[in-house]
């Protein structure tokens, strides 16, 4: 009985490791560096457009000026009244 449990546990751990390796091979986080150009996802911001459906989903490209922990400071124009730092999940590469 103990040997069967041990075999089952090893099989489960091996299957989990294979699934983890397969998933990680396709999902690499975007690595942004200072000086890169990125698009900003605008779905999180309220705009003056009459309908969110008609609004453009992205804005940019913007220049990354500084990295702050998991956020990045962007060189945004003064007319955009949004916070200068943005999370990596709200940016896309050019």
| Helix, strand, coil percentages for the chain (3-state, nearest 5) | 35, 30, 35
**Domain contains 17:** no
**Residue 84 is part of which domain span?**
37-93
User: What is residue 16's predicted lDDT score, i.e. its pLDDT?
Assistant: 97
**Domain contains 42:** yes
User: What is residue 51's predicted lDDT score, i.e. its pLDDT?
Assistant: 82
**Domain contains 77:** yes
**Domain contains 31:** no
Answer whether 51's CB lies under 8 Å from 69's CB: no
Instruction: Please tell me the total count of domains within the chain.
Output: 1
**Domain contains 79:** yes
pLDDT in tens, 55-77: 888 887 988 998 888 788 888 88
**Domain contains 9:** no
Global confidence as pTM: 0.59
User: What is residue 72's predicted lDDT score, i.e. its pLDDT?
Assistant: 86
Those residues of the chain that have pLDDT short of 70 are: 29-30, 84, 86-90, 94
Answer whether 62's CB lies under 8 Å from 37's CB: yes
**Domain contains 20:** no
């Amino acid at each position: 009985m103990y040997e069967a449990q041990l075999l089952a546990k090893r099989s489960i751990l091996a299957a989990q490791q294979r699934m983890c390796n397969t998933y990680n091979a396709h999902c690499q986080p975007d690595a942004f560096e200072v000086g890169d150009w990125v698009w900003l996802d605008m779905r999180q911001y309220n705009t003056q457009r009459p309908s969110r459906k008609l609004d453009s989903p992205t804005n940019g490209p913007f220049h990354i000026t500084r990295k702050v922990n998991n956020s990045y400071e962007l060189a945004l124009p003064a007319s955009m009244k949004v916070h200068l730092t943005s999370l990596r999940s709200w940016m896309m590469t050019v």
